[in-house]
Amino acid sequence: MDYITNSKNRKLKNKIHTLLARMSFNFLHLSSSSRVISIGISLSFFSLFLSWFSIADNSLNGNAFSIHVGYIGYIIILINSILCFLLLSGTGKEKIKTKAHMTFSDHTIIIASGVTLLLLTLVIFNSIRGFVLFYQNIVIGDGIVFQSIGSIFIAIGGLLYYREKKRDFLSTMYVENTGANDSIFAEYEDILGKNDPDKKNMTLPL
């Protein structure tokens, strides 16, 4: 039994090690905008494990999954899961967008997600401040701070992502147009005599 248990543990450790290695490899090969978005997602996920508020009067600590904050933690997990899918799925997201007839671009979804998370966090912050009517000693936790910073990182990363895609598109168009112009001039090279080594300069008779 011990041998079987140890074998299962080794397989589990190898799978976890392989998963972490792939994640680190993907992160190192991400663009600068995708790295900013990944940092924002990581901060957002990390905020779920922190305290969002505490009430000293009755020793109450609330996190993102508390009823006092509207169970916002589940919404955060859903939005961040969608963002992770956009960053790591590759061609899979295009197939889903085609089947669902979605016309939204990736940067639009990323920016909208960051802004939505930030607005939700501000709403929860104001709601917690409203508890002052019932309790006196209320402390805002670090979870709200990390979630706000993560949301800002996601929104900024979406803007950088848009700029990168726009620059790549313009570069591609420039290369295609340059190639088209070269092919057009190539058709007239024989007439212009640019590449004919046998032709000599014409001289006028004296």
Can you give the residue ranges of every domain in the chain?
31-181
Q: Which of 24, 63, 21 is nearest to 46 (CA)?
A: 63
Q: Which helix (H) or strand (E) holds 90?
A: none
pLDDT value, residue 206: 47
| Maximum alpha-carbon separation in the chain | 113
* Percent of the chain topping pLDDT 90: 25
Quick one: tokens of 188?
């007239």
Segment 111-140, tens digit of pLDDT: 999 999 999 999 998 888 877 667 777 888
| Cβ 33 vs Cβ 166: under 8 Å | no
* Global pTM value: 0.69
Q: Which of 116, 123, 124, 115 is nearest to 53 (CA)?
A: 124
Taking the C-alpha atoms of residue 74 and residue 77, their distance in angstroms, rounded to an integer, is 5
| Cβ 114 vs Cβ 154: under 8 Å | yes
Report the chain's mean pLDDT, rounded to a whole number: 76
Q: Which residues contact 82 (CB under 8 A, 6 or more apart)?
A: 109, 113
